[in-house]
Amino acid sequence: MTFSEENYLKIIYHLSHEENMEVTTNAIAEAMQTKASSVTDMLKKLHEKGWVEHKRYQGVSLTEKGKKNALFVIRKHRLWEVFLAEKLHFSWEEIHEIAEQLEHIQSDKLIEKLDKFLLYPEKDPHGDPIPDKFGNVPQFKSELLSLLKKGESGHCVGVKNTSREFLQYLNKIEISIGKEINVLDIQPFDNSLEIQLDGKIFNISSIIAENIYVKKNK
């Protein structure tokens, strides 16, 4: 696969899981920051290689072969993120962009050795599951912080948004993987939350809460 083909397969995989349906050309174009005509040309190539099903006006879906390739790219990306964070001590807002480059290294042997070196991690530093070499994706029970009710609490297990700006904001209020978050109050007007962590109280918007995954305490 070329770099561009790998990026397209990865984007289609992510979009199909977010929308839980076939992906539109426009959605891919927006995610790739390119023109719809360019997406159409690439989809034709991917279809010819047997990696996607593309029906005009109906959307795009990955074939089993395409899904396998997409998961391998995601596996490489997330393993590199673990390496960058744990071994080179990059912060979690820095690792995504670097892993975007490293994920295109074409060496199965290197990835298997990297996985072993890291002791076969199941999650990346953002809490996302790492597919194994067979394409199996670990399943972890979690829910969005925005779904917790007043008086409930949970531990942060991941983030939906991995942008540098969002992660820098979480750093500022000291939210990270493993931190316990207590919901003290919810404002009916805008669904903003008053939360407590490490004895400190913060107010966060509903948008922030909708991008943090937690494992609710029983």
Given this model, what pLDDT does residue 17 score? 83
Read off the pTM: 0.87
Positive or negative, the CA dihedral 11, 164, 18, 23 is: negative
Q: How confident is the model at residue 142 (pLDDT cuts 50, 70, 90)?
A: very high
Eight-class DSSP state of 81 = H
> Lowest mean pLDDT: which of 21-25, 45-49, 198-202, 211-215?
21-25
The pLDDT of residue 164 is above 80: yes
The pLDDT of residue 24 is above 70: yes
In tens, the pLDDT along 106-136 reads 999 999 999 999 999 999 999 999 999 999 9
Q: Does domain 3-62 have CATH number 1.10.10.1200?
A: no
Given this model, what pLDDT does residue 59 score? 85
Given this model, what pLDDT does residue 122 score? 96
* CATH 1.10.10.10 domain range(s) in the chain: 3-62
* CATH 2.30.30.90 domain range(s) in the chain: 143-216
CATH homologous superfamily, domain 143-216: Ferrous iron transport protein A (FeoA) (2.30.30.90)
Given this model, what pLDDT does residue 21 score? 64
One-letter amino acid identity for 72? F
The pLDDT of residue 18 is above 80: no
Higher-confidence position of 141 and 80: 80
Eight-class DSSP state of 141 = -
Query: Mean per-residue pLDDT for 182-198?
Result: 96
Rounded distance between C-alpha atoms, residue 19 and residue 23, angstroms:
8
**Sheet (strand 212-216) strand order:** 143-144, 212-216, 153-159, 180-186, 193-197, 200-204
Per-chain mean pLDDT for the chain? 94
In tens, the pLDDT along 54-105 reads 877 778 999 999 999 999 999 999 999 999 999 999 999 999 999 999 999 9
Given this model, what pLDDT does residue 191 score? 95
One-letter amino acid identity for 6? E
Give me 28's structure tokens.
């891919």
Helices (H), 87-205: 95-102, 108-117, 164-172
Rounded distance between C-alpha atoms, residue 100 and residue 103, angstroms:
6
- How much of the chain exceeds pLDDT 70, in percent? 98
Given this model, what pLDDT does residue 58 score? 75
The pLDDT of residue 159 is above 90: yes
The pLDDT of residue 198 is above 70: yes
Eight-class DSSP state of 174 = T
Q: How confident is the model at residue 188 (pLDDT cuts 50, 70, 90)?
A: very high
